[in-house]
Amino acid sequence: MRCSLTGKQTWTAIATRGSVEPRQGGGDTGAIRAMYQAATLGAFIVMRSIWLIGFSCALLSPAMMSAAVEPPGIEPPRIPNYFVAPVKTEVQRTLVANGSTAFATVNGGSLAGEAGLESESFDRKAFESELQRVASTHPDQLKLEIRYQMPQPAEATRASIKSRLSEIAHSCGFEHVGASTLASSASWESVMGPVQQFPESEDPSEAIFENELARVFALRTRLSKLVIGDADCVVEIKQPFDGRQKELSDPLREFIRKAVTSMDFETQKGKLLYRVSTTEAGESDLESIFDPRLPVPIRVDAGPAIRALLERQAAEYQPSPALELALDLGFNRIGYTHSPGGGAPQKLIGQRAPNFTLRSLAGEDLELAALIENRPALVTFWGVACGPCRQEAPHLTQIHEQHGADFAVLAVNGYDEGRDVVADYVERAKLTHPIVIRGADVADDLYHVGSYPTTFWIDRHGTVLDYDVGFDSGEVMMRRVRDMLGD
């Protein structure tokens, strides 16, 4: 998990096969062929390209491949305007906000009219019954998400709906309710339809296979399917692509292969989703590594010229490294989500860590070089307003208290939050590791930080060995500290 540099939500770009809208309407093949023959060579090339784009996208669009036509006279099953589930698997705890014991989402659009929660399209009693059922076993903290299809209703309406739903959740037995709103162009039916149809077993197990390179897991529950979307298996690659990687490394491939082959897929393997991040230098490499496109199939009724072109393209086609691995593992397509972190922390690898002096919470100047004193060290850039940073902070204190004599820890507040804000959080969280404030310029100018937290690992000679973006786990951090100490 990571926070963006500005504190805004990191945007995600999704690339999937057939992401271009297919050209609508059929065409008479004979007429098209006649038009080609009558056209000039330049027009032939242009029209052929347009036809191929529309045709290939139509063939490869997952939505069109999976579309089901309801028999005449049979209405599709009604999708409730709410979804409630406990957070109980390892994958769910990773995907849903930290500390939440339950999750609920509501179709805010169904409540935006004058009737509000009494709307005929919203079964309030059934919703309350589901909340009570889940709260009876998972009452601590509910993450409540209210979804709207654009355009959203007025802000006052959204605030009223949010307040009333929170009150209902509290009355149904939840001790804490964290409510938020989400707006998108997707309809409630398009989001929840696949979730409702997902074949969830009575006692699903969602194990995570993880090492320092990646986190791999299959989706076996409706809640996980809702959060992730169109995928059967997810590979989260931990290290940002920063311009040094031009393909998937052999150790990464080996781990992904081992993880997937260890899973028991109850349904057919469909889509493998890669979740990746980048620095500025790595963004241009993603398409070549994770290109999801498959070769365009050759239609049996294709004319000689079209067939020759497609056969030539098929002979030249090479799948991307990510697609090649997925196909070899039995999946039939891939997608990827991209979180651009910005910055250029990779520039410091192999270089001496830039020295700096900043003020501690006690009001004293603290110099990095003096703090390290021939010890290996980690320097992390963080902020109180950054959720993953707050998850990481207690583990920094643990490292400091257990290994402080031989290993240096320094947390630099790069959000430039006020001393009182930082000090109040440090006291409440009982943190004891060294912390300095007003470090935004150091983060930006000296360490090229683009996302928070960013942690630099420094050897006893002051050389930067590596960096991490985001927080993985305390266990992974402690293992790395011990490796650097030679334990």
Between 330 and 1, the higher pLDDT residue: 330
Least confident piece of the model among 40-49, 139-148, 210-219, 278-287: 40-49
Q: What pLDDT score was predicted for residue 30?
A: 39
Q: What pLDDT score was predicted for residue 473?
A: 85
Q: What pLDDT score was predicted for residue 98?
A: 67
CB 314 within 8 A of CB 298: yes
Tokens 């309407």 map to which residue? Answer: 25
Least confident piece of the model among 12-16, 40-44, 483-487: 12-16
Q: What residues form DSSP beta bridges with 352?
A: 463
Mean pLDDT of the chain: 84
Give, to the nearest 10 degrees, the angle between helix 41-60 and helix 29-38.
150
Q: What is the pLDDT of residues 375-429, one digit of tens each?
A: 999 999 999 999 899 999 999 999 999 999 999 999 999 999 999 999 999 999 9
What's the average model confidence in pLDDT over 264-284?
Answer: 88
What's the average model confidence in pLDDT over 49-77?
Answer: 46
* Distance between CA atoms of residues 414 and 417, nearest Å: 8
Between 266 and 62, the higher pLDDT residue: 266
Q: Say if residue 47's pLDDT is above 70.
A: no
Q: What pLDDT score was predicted for residue 190?
A: 94
Q: Say if residue 105's pLDDT is above 90.
A: yes
Q: What pLDDT score was predicted for residue 181?
A: 94
Q: Report residue 39's pLDDT band, with 50, 70 and 90 as the boundaries.
A: very low
Q: Report residue 157's pLDDT band, with 50, 70 and 90 as the boundaries.
A: very high
Q: What pLDDT score was predicted for residue 297?
A: 82
Q: What is the pLDDT of residues 201-221, one digit of tens each?
A: 776 788 899 998 999 999 999
Q: What pLDDT score was predicted for residue 266?
A: 65
* Through-space distance between the first and last CA atoms of the chain, rounded to whole angstroms: 28
Tokens of 344: 């250029």
Task: Convert the chain into a string of H (helix), E (strand) and C (coil).
Answer: CCEECCCCCCCCEEEECCCCCCCCCCCCHHHHHHHHHHCCHHHHHHHHHHHHHHHHHHHHCHHHHHCCCCCCCCCCCCCCCEEEEECCCHHHHHHCCCCCCEEEEEEHHHHCCCCHHHCCCCCHHHHHHHHHHHHCCCCCEEEEEEEEECCCCCHHHHHHHHHHHHHHHHHCCCCEEEEEEEEECCCHHHHHHHHHHCCCCCCCCCCCEECCCEEEEECCCHHHHHHHCCCCEEEEECCCECCCCCCCCHHHHHHHHHHHHCCCCCCCCCEEEEEEEECHHHHHHHHHHHCCCCCCCCCCCCCHHHHHHHHHHHHHCCCCHHHHHHHHCCCCEEEEEEEECCCCHHHHCCCECCCCEEEECCCCEEEHHHHHCCCCEEEEEECCCCHHHHHHHHHHHHHHHHHCCCCEEEEEECCCCCHHHHHHHHHHHCCCCCEEECCHHHHHHHCCCCEECEEEEECCCCEEEEEEECCCCHHHHHHHHHHHHCC
Amino acid identity of residue 279, one-letter, is T
Q: What residues form DSSP beta bridges with 359?
A: 365, 437
Side by side, the strands of the sheet bearing 82-86 are 82-86, 102-107, 141-149, 176-184
Task: Convert 225-249 into a string of H (helix), E (strand) and C (coil).
Answer: HHHHCCCCEEEEECCCECCCCCCCC
Best CA proximity match to 437, nearest among 380, 365, 360: 360
Q: What pLDDT score was predicted for residue 305?
A: 87
Q: What pLDDT score was predicted for residue 26?
A: 35
What's the average model confidence in pLDDT over 227-231?
Answer: 93
Side by side, the strands of the sheet bearing 333-340 are 13-16, 333-340, 271-278, 233-237, 214-218, 209-210
* Distance between CA atoms of residues 203 and 219, nearest Å: 13
Q: What pLDDT score was predicted for residue 477?
A: 93
Q: What pLDDT score was predicted for residue 75?
A: 58
- pTM score above 0.85: no
Q: Report residue 78's pLDDT band, with 50, 70 and 90 as the boundaries.
A: confident
Q: Say if residue 352's pLDDT is above 90.
A: yes
Which domains are assigned to the chain? 82-197 (3.40.50), 345-485 (3.40.30.10)
Q: Say if residue 443's pLDDT is above 90.
A: yes
Q: What pLDDT score was predicted for residue 120?
A: 78
Least confident piece of the model among 113-117, 121-125, 228-232: 113-117
Q: What pLDDT score was predicted for residue 205?
A: 81
CB 376 within 8 A of CB 459: yes
Neighbours of 158 (CB within 10 A): 18
CB 224 within 8 A of CB 91: yes
